[in-house]
Structure 1
Amino acid sequence: METGMELKVGTPKPWGRSEQVSLPALPPEVAPAEAARHRALAALVALAEALGTPDSVPTALAEAEAALRQARVAWEELERAREAAVAPAVALGTLGDEDEQRLRQIGAMAEAAAATLEREEGRARRCQRWLRAGHGLTMGLMVLCGIVLSLDSARTALGVAEDGHLLLALTVVAVSCEVAWRGLESSRRHLATAAGHQQDMALRLRDRARRVAATRASAEAAAATNEVTADVLGQLEEVTRALKKLVAAVTRDREVTPWGTRGQGFPSAAQVLGDIVEDLATSGKEHEEVARRLEVAQRALAGQG
């Protein structure tokens, strides 16, 4: 709406402090919310000043209602964006008070335990190879001795009887090697299983540590921007509420008084403008010019009455 007047409300500063301009990940909805707030401020001033010339009120009122609709949409979108931005902080709460460094330390301990178990499993495997070799050698000696001792001349030369204890001793050695091999095989499987469990634990702990670190970083980023978003939301809500009150008051005056009769004035609007001026005067320097012009319009309306 062209009003012939330029409302100077300052450069949009959604960050509140100039040193925060570089804050990352500001929601894209901030810019539309700022634009809607400035349009609402301009519509607020235009409607207030139009009350002095009743013929221009319908146009100013239509623009104010359009600005209200835009502000409501922008507020709802920014509110949803703010809720999404604080989700990482909620997620961090579900992780409890876990310490990322502690998780990594426990994971390192699990890795060390897995390495120890793997070394033990390797030693057991080497012992099995020696036992298997000893078993094979003993079985070979048993066959060889069986053949040799089956010859009378060989027994006579060796001075042993056919039922000597040599074969029995070799049999005991062979059986012992087999039993030891099977025992080591069982131990080796248990060691391998335990090492696998320790490795899995180490992987889970490292993954959880990464998730805790990532969630904490997201939560900190969200906290850094949440204040910005909340400030923009608060300012937009304040301006929207003021414009809504003035639109309602003007509509009410329009229904009660003969439209276009300057003598009747806008009593409800004049009263609402006084409240709005008082609220905006304490809301920051950016609204000083707006409050001043609204005060001028309010005094003009009071003079009409």
Structure 2
Amino acid sequence: MGTRMEPKVSPSALPPEVATAVAAQDRALAALVALAEALGTPDTVPTALAEAEAVLGQAQAALRRLEGVQEAAVAPAVALGTLGDEDEQRLRRLGAVAEVAAAALEREEGRARQWQRWLRAGHGLTMGLMVLCGTVLSLDSARAALGVTEDGHLLLALAAVAVSCEVAWRGLETSRRHLATAVGHQRDMALRLRDRARRVAAARASAEATAATNEAMAEVLGRLEKVTLALGTLVTAVTRDREVTPWGTRGQGFPSAARALGDIVVALEGHEEVTRRLEVAQGALAGQG
């Protein structure tokens, strides 16, 4: 009964909860009309109301299930919105730039390491010369042959060279550690940018692939929400009228239901057959709303 959804995607692409929701919508429309028409013969209202309450519970359950499915289905679009309108190619370019910077820093670190090896070798050579020269200069004959004194400046010069090599090595070690840290940061940035580019691409592809399905589910969900609300409104109105004038009371009337039908007819615009019958039922209650 009423206007059915015209699927914009293959039914096989829609989750089974959609078919369940459409069936629940049809039952809810039928129960709505049955309850409205029963108001003209108060003796039949209790049965129609009980049926409407049962169908309402089923429709609400179907609504909750479909809402859960839709929430899961729109997750890719939510993820894309979280990522923003970022440009996948721009992220990849930035990742490449970070990778180039890491490579350049790595080369600098390699040069610093090479200089450290040279300085370590120079330091070792200088220390060896100091030991050798100290031994040679301890001999009177060697000093006489070289024309130097025991307290000559040669050992002092070698010691200064050794200290200079050690200081330079330590300075390069500090620089090398900083360069290694910078390389790690650049590599980490490149990795994160590439990973973000992949997530942006995946989210966009997933959102585009599920767009039609999400639209179809949203349409069904919207219709079911509207019909469920209408049925719930009429059930509540009839129950309220029953509390005012219990069944079997002389002059049983349904003023709340009559007013509710006026609102429901407007809300269900598009369900032509349903609204036509509801208008007839409302006309039969003329003067009660």
Alignment of 1:146 with 2:146, yes or no, is no
Q: Is the 8 A contact 2:122 2:165 kept in 1?
A: yes
1:152 is displaced (CA, Å) by 3.4
1:49 is displaced (CA, Å) by 6.6
Q: 2:24 aligns with which of 33, 36, 39?
A: 36
2:147 aligns with 160
1:170 aligns with 158
1:236 aligns with 224
Q: Is the 8 A contact 1:135 1:174 kept in 2?
A: yes
Q: 1:74 aligns with which of 43, 52, 62?
A: 62
1:65 is displaced (CA, Å) by 2.5
Please state whether the residue corresponding to 1:19 is helix, strand or coil. Answer: coil
Q: Residues 134 and 63 from structure 1, CA distance in 2 versus in 1: closer, same or farther, beyond 3 angstroms?
A: same
Q: Which amino acid is 1:203 matched to?
A: L
1:37 is displaced (CA, Å) by 0.9
Task: Give identity over the alignment, percent.
Answer: 70
- In the aligned structure 2, how far is the partner of 1:106 from the partner of 1:226? 33
1:161 is displaced (CA, Å) by 2.0
Q: Is the 8 A contact 2:245 2:253 kept in 1?
A: no
Q: Is the 8 A contact 2:76 2:203 kept in 1?
A: yes
- In the aligned structure 1, how far is the partner of 2:134 from the partner of 2:255? 128
Please state whether the residue corresponding to 2:109 is helix, strand or coil. Answer: helix
Matches within 5 A, 1:87-236: 89-90=77-78, 92-156=80-144, 158-163=145-150, 164-217=152-205, 219-220=207-208, 223-236=211-224
Deviation per CA, 1:92-120: give whole Å up to 9, x if none.
44544433332232222222212221221
Q: Is the 8 A contact 2:91 2:193 kept in 1?
A: yes
- In the aligned structure 2, how far is the partner of 1:244 from the partner of 1:150? 112
TM-score, normalised via structure 1 length: 0.67
Question: Number of residue pairs matched?
Answer: 283
Q: Residues 272 and 153 from structure 1, CA distance in 2 versus in 1: closer, same or farther, beyond 3 angstroms?
A: closer
- In the aligned structure 1, how far is the partner of 2:166 from the partner of 2:282? 110
- In the aligned structure 2, how far is the partner of 1:63 from the partner of 1:103? 59
Q: Residues 277 and 132 from structure 1, CA distance in 2 versus in 1: closer, same or farther, beyond 3 angstroms?
A: closer
- In the aligned structure 1, how far is the partner of 2:272 from the partner of 2:17? 26
TM-score, normalised via structure 2 length: 0.70
Please state whether the residue corresponding to 1:127 is helix, strand or coil. Answer: helix
- In the aligned structure 2, how far is the partner of 1:146 from the partner of 1:108? 56
Gaps of 5+ in 2: none
1:19 aligns with 9
1:272 is displaced (CA, Å) by 8.2
- Cα RMSD after superposing both structures: 4.5
Gaps of 5+ in 1: 1-7
1:70 is displaced (CA, Å) by 2.2
Q: Which amino acid is 1:59 matched to?
A: T
Q: Which amino acid is 1:161 matched to?
A: V
